[in-house]
Amino acid sequence: MQPFVYNALPMRVIFGSGTLSQVGPEIQRLGCGKALVLTTPAQAKEGEMLRADLGSLAVGLYSNATMHTPTDITEEALELAQRLGADCVVALGGGSTIGLGKAIALRTDLPQIVIPTSYAGSEATTVIGQTENGQKTTQKTPKVLPEAIIYDVDLTLTLPAQMTITSGINAIAHAVEALYSAEANPITDMLAEQGIARVANALKILSKDPHNIEARSDALFGAWACGSCLGAVGMALHHKLCHTLGGTFNLPHAETHTVVLPHTIAYNAPFSTVAMTKAARSLSAGSAAQGVYDLAKNLGAPYSLKQLGMKEADLERAADVAMKSPYPNPAPLDRERLLSLLRDAYEGKRPA
């Protein structure tokens, strides 16, 4: 018998099609009536439509959520929330918007309702990453866990092809790290395997048929499963590297996860054979590292840091930053091995 400790997160999940109509009732269920809607600039139109639909339940819209959650953006949104007397936030969007909602909740304890439009999965975790002065830091606290998550499959039907793939592999990264986490347990293992399989199979269909409603549903459910299992356990090397690359070098979040994941899997594989067997099985691949790499490359996603604009001269600095603070990881952390990992990711080499 495998001994384990499992901490279930208190979350309310509404999943289906047309569930956007539940936002108003959920605001009222929380005892609130002055919601501030949050979006990125690209989704401002959708945010304004939601604000209008909510009528008197919404007091305004903040539409400048930004990748990697810069603290100056958070302060700007927080000032608006206080000026309008907001008693809750409604985040409509992907990881950038969800991160902003979490950052506001961290500072104010305002309740959050999250409506994901991508497969980021961060809505299901107690993790928040924030960037200040070019340095991205993360913390884990129940204060940032949303009170309600509303998954509306209809909102993902227009997700662009490239974003669909990279966002989906970002979700897979959550589940892979959960499988080899120091806090792994049978419950999260089961969720992780199901999440990886659902997302991977859905991505193959969506690359050819982006409006396939069943595949969109599977991808969204898989993203929730992947995020949920990571929310219940701890992060390791993969997320540390991606936060370093994203916050320090301003690389795009989902694309960075997509490029780096095969290489962090390969780094940890000799020290987490059972976890990697489960991941490979869920990917229908002989090797978890090669399975993720082939999935990304075959579906047209970026597969090298060079493609994302990373400079080769910055690899040494990235390795130094990643080594700064200790964190649990199956394989021992060694600077030269990390540098080799980063070089492989920079060149886009297929893991051996």
pLDDT in tens, 29-78: 999 999 999 999 999 999 999 999 999 999 999 999 999 999 999 999 99
2 assigned to some structural domain: no
* Residue 217 and residue 180 share a domain: yes
Residue ending a domain, choose from 133, 156, 179 = 156
Amino acid (1-letter code) at residue 210: P
212 assigned to some structural domain: yes
Mean pLDDT, residues 142-146: 95
Residue ending a domain, choose from 100, 132, 156 = 156
What are 300-329's pLDDT values in tens digits?
Answer: 999 999 999 999 999 999 999 889 877 889
4 assigned to some structural domain: no
Residue 77 maps to which CATH number?
3.40.50.1970
7 assigned to some structural domain: no
Residue 251 has pLDDT above 90, yes or no: yes
Residue 229 maps to which CATH number?
1.20.1090.10
Could you tell me the pTM of the whole model?
Answer: 0.92
pLDDT given for residue 2 in this prediction: 75
Residue 96 has pLDDT above 80, yes or no: yes
210: number of Cβ within 10 Å: 16
pLDDT given for residue 134 in this prediction: 77
* Residue 61 and residue 200 share a domain: no
Spatial separation of the C-alpha atoms in residues 197 and 218, rounded to whole Å? 9
Residue 86 has pLDDT above 80, yes or no: yes
Mean pLDDT, residues 90-100: 96
352 assigned to some structural domain: no
pLDDT given for residue 1 in this prediction: 62
Residue ending a domain, choose from 139, 156, 173 = 156
Query: In sequence order, what are the beta bridge partners of 137?
Result: 130
Angle, vertex CA 259, rays to CA 238 and CA 153, nearest 5: 90
Q: Which two tokens stand for residue 33?
A: 């009536």
3 assigned to some structural domain: no
What are 337-352's pLDDT values in tens digits?
Answer: 999 999 999 999 999 8
Where do we find the tokens 């090397």? 237
121 assigned to some structural domain: yes
294 assigned to some structural domain: yes
* Residue 236 and residue 149 share a domain: no
* Residue 239 and residue 170 share a domain: yes
SS3 assignment, position 128 = strand
pLDDT given for residue 7 in this prediction: 83
* Residue 170 and residue 140 share a domain: no
* Residue 180 and residue 283 share a domain: yes
* Residue 171 and residue 148 share a domain: no
* Residue 301 and residue 235 share a domain: yes
Least confident of 123-132, 204-213, 219-228: 123-132
pLDDT given for residue 275 in this prediction: 97
Residue 5 has pLDDT above 90, yes or no: no
pLDDT given for residue 21 in this prediction: 97
Share of the chain above pLDDT 90, in %: 85
Q: Which two tokens stand for residue 226?
A: 């992947």
pLDDT given for residue 138 in this prediction: 84
* Residue 246 and residue 140 share a domain: no
Mean pLDDT, residues 116-137: 89
Q: Give, rounded to a whole angstrom, the gap between the first and last alpha carbons of the chain.
A: 33
pLDDT given for residue 234 in this prediction: 84
* Residue 36 and residue 110 share a domain: yes
Mean pLDDT, residues 129-136: 86
| Among the listed residues 65, 61, 167, 150, the one whose alpha carbon sits nearest the alpha carbon of residue 113 | 150
What band does 277 get if pLDDT is binned at 50, 70 and 90? very high
Check: CB of residue 2 under 8 Å from CB of residue 138. no
Least confident of 33-37, 133-137, 152-156, 300-304: 133-137
* Residue 188 and residue 114 share a domain: no
pLDDT given for residue 63 in this prediction: 98
| Among the listed residues 55, 258, 340, 14, the one whose alpha carbon sits nearest the alpha carbon of residue 151 | 14
Q: Which two tokens stand for residue 14?
A: 């509404």
What band does 153 get if pLDDT is binned at 50, 70 and 90? very high
199: number of Cβ within 10 Å: 30
* Mean predicted lDDT score pLDDT of the chain: 95
What band does 246 get if pLDDT is binned at 50, 70 and 90? confident
* Residue 87 and residue 141 share a domain: yes
- Full domain range(s) for residue 260: 161-347
